[in-house]
Structure 1
Amino acid sequence: MEIQSSRLLRKVLIGATGSALALTSAFAANYEDTMPLETVKPAPNLEEVLPHPEQREEAMAKLAEFESRTGKRPNILVYLMDDVGWGDLGVYGGGVAVGAPTPNMDALARDGLMLTSAYSQPSSSPTRATLLTGQLPVRHGILRPTLYNEPGGLTNAVTLAQLLSDAGYVTQAVGKWHMGENPGSQPQNVGFDDFSGFLSVSDLYTEWRDPYFYPEIANSEERTEMIREWAFEKYWV
């Protein structure tokens, strides 16, 4: 029985393997028929990509129709929130169901393109920088939340905001920045025309005034003076 079972299993495996190979060959043939043969490097700071000219032409046609009909370019609004899952919004099954209605964002989503697959980085700063630059953290260099007055950050990066500004858009960032406090990484120097928010984490509002929990910051005259002199600072109320 063991020998017979072994032979039967071997025949099943051979049959399954043959079928799999046949399916793989057929799939590969169809896939190669639709794949571009060459990749394109759109900019020195970007990786090579597979061009999709038909999709680009369709998108450009829609943009041209919108501009012809309204006389304006479409507004571009991006929400980036910490500690919020895609399923927290009403349009993806959250909202009222989880006790937090999101009617305005739901309306925007229903009028736009709803995506069902996405990636994020392990913490907020790398995710923000990746969204702005189109690069992975190993490329843009922000691998973790940035520290106070730390060099690096977005200095010399080509950002989405800069590309939109160069194309004639008025660009604005609102809220938490946290992609570098050094001048080269600040919003006004990487493509934003206006910024209203805070450059570091949200507890920046209080920690530099709190000698009990943050003595190394609150008792530092240099740190306090740096905050007072920051461009685009919005701390004083």
Structure 2
Amino acid sequence: MKIKIKPFISKLLLLIIFSSTACQQHIDTSNDRPNIIIFFTDDQGYADVGCYGAEGFETPHIDRLASEGIRFTNFYVPATVCTPSRAGLLTGRYPKRYNLHEAVLFPFSEGGLSLNEYTMAEMLRDNGYSTSIIGKWHLGHKEEFMPNNQGFDQFYGVPYSNDMDNYYYKHIDFQSPPLPFYRNKTLIESGPDQDYLTQKYTEEAINQIKNRSEKPFFMYVAQNMPHTPLHASPAFIGKSEKGLYGDVIMELDWSVGEIVKTLKEQNIYDNTIFIFTSDNGPQMGSAKPLRGKKAETWDGGQRVPAIVVWPSKITKGVVSSDFTTTLDLFPTLAKIAGSKIPENLKLDGLDISDYLLHPEATKLPERPFYFYARNGEIEAVRMGKWKLHIQKSIGWNLNKNGSFPVSLYNLDEDISEKNNVVDQFPEVVEQLTKMMKEIETEL
């Protein structure tokens, strides 16, 4: 009798163990949460990607990425230059809310992103994600403001723009040091060879993916290029028809391809959200058919290429003209990751997760979006198809054209902001002007 019972008991014990393990796996949903990669370029224009109309160079990897998810054609950043744009991305809030909306931070600056701000990295880390930034920080180079104190477990890169490398600021008699290169809080190099920055960041991203922990990860790949001075590795010099600028973009495209390839090799691509976009309009590249460029509140300064891919969830090959911004990424990723947002945190972005998952069945609401100039002053507002400009500090020639006239554009019909219809729609001007006054009072 005992001989017959023992196999039964053994099988029963195995069944109990298996059932218990299966139950534990079902309850623990951490493995279901997606990895998140934000690939953020510097000064890459609206038309500096093949699928957005690039000329003189090709971006096959980014184009392929666009075919595997959603490509946005009405995607904006909350500033015309580096520092405030990056701040908005990581906080989901207009930079004016924490006084980081004017110009950019320099090697002689004393401030940075307030530690009172709750960053995307903190939000995700608090929910069990490992977090890393690879590349350019530009939100304060003093130790208290650096990435490891702002929610990032790992930092590999530089604290500010590549043009600040060993630069002399005559107006204040300040000599900046050779560009510092950090791993976490340790300075590992001064004045790195910028020809290899894109390559080094790519290799670091690949190494981190291959050596990841069991946690889901958030990786912020903030490339220095194509910010001037332009640099590309020898393998990409002469690749494009557009000279060095095209070479630089093609290397960035290669970088996207290498990271995606690694995700696929590691069998985690399907459950990774990959977001590609730029911090503002181009200094040297193209924003066609948009008007303006970097540092200007014309659309060319703040409407940028943007692609979101999540192979297991997002429909392939969608081209969206719905209005969206980097401010939306904070609440959207919080919802997708199951993170809690503090009740008293005032966000300026919108949770667009339903739209990402069901773009054909979801309509995003119209909402105002405010354009702050490099000098920190509000210059324009967009609501639906309408965009109203009330002043211009950059992007308007006073000597040639006289003082700037209040201007209203229908962006649905006039993407290049050429036909001022301010006299035809006084009620729209009144409504948008009121909105600008209200947000200024609030902020």
With the shorter chain as reference, the TM-score category is 0.5 to 0.7
| Structure 2: segments with no counterpart, 5+ residues | 1-27, 193-443
Is 1:168 matched up with 2:122?
A: no
Partner of 1:50: none
Output one character per residue of 1:150-194: Cα deviation in whole Å (capped at 9) or x when no partner.
124232210111111111212111111111112232111111111
Match of 2:47 in 1: 87
Tell me, in whole angstroms, the C-alpha distance in 1 between the residues paired with 2:189 and 2:68: 36
**Contact (CA 8 Å) 1:162, 1:192: kept in 2 or not?**
yes
- Is the alpha carbon distance of 1:156 and 1:215 closer, same or farther for their aligned partners in structure 2, counting shifts above 3 Å? same
**Aligned partners of 2:158 and 2:181 also within 8 Å:** no
- Residue 305 of structure 2 is matched in structure 1 by none
- Structure 2 CA distance for partners of 1:227 and 1:195, relative to 1, 3 Å: closer
If the length of structure 1 is used for normalisation, what is the TM-score? 0.56
Q: Is the 8 A contact 2:86 2:139 kept in 1?
A: yes
SS, match of residue 203 in structure 1: helix
Q: What do residues 101-155 of structure 1 show as CA deviations (whole Å, max 9, x unaligned)?
A: 2222222222222222122212111100000001112113212211335124232
Which residue does the alignment assign to 2:92? 134
Q: Secondary structure at the match of 2:65?
A: helix
SS at match of 1:172: strand
Distance 1:204 1:234 in 2: 18
Sequence identity, in percent? 33
Q: 1:146 aligns with which of 105, 110, 115?
A: 105
**For residues 88-107 of structure 1, what are the structure 2 equivalents within 5 Å?**
88-94=48-54, 98-107=55-64
Structure (1/2) with the larger strand percentage: 2
For residues 154 and 117 of structure 1, the distance between their equivalents in structure 2, rounded to whole angstroms, comes to 30
Contact 1:133 1:140 in 2 (8 A): no
Runs of 4+ in 1 over 6 A off after TM superposition: none
Query: Does the 8 Å CA contact 2:105/2:138 hold for their aligned counterparts?
Result: yes
- Superposition pairs of residues 63-78 of structure 1, within 5 angstroms: 71-78=31-38
Pick the structure with greater CA Rg: 1
Residue aligning to 1:233: 187
Task: Give the whole-Å Cα distance in 2 for the aligned partners of 1:234 and 1:203.
Answer: 19
1:210-225 equivalence runs, <5 A: 216-217=174-175
2:41 counterpart SS class: coil
Question: How far off is 1:211 after superposition?
Answer: 11
2:143 is equivalent to residue 183 of structure 1: yes
- 1:4 is aligned to none
Corresponding residue SS for 1:99: coil
Check the 8 A contact 1:159/1:191 in 2, yes or no: yes
Q: Secondary structure at the match of 2:64?
A: helix
User: Which one has more relative contact order, counting CA pairs under 8 Å at least 6 apart?
Assistant: 2
- Match for 2:60: what amino acid? P
Tell me how many residue pairs correspond in the alignment: 159
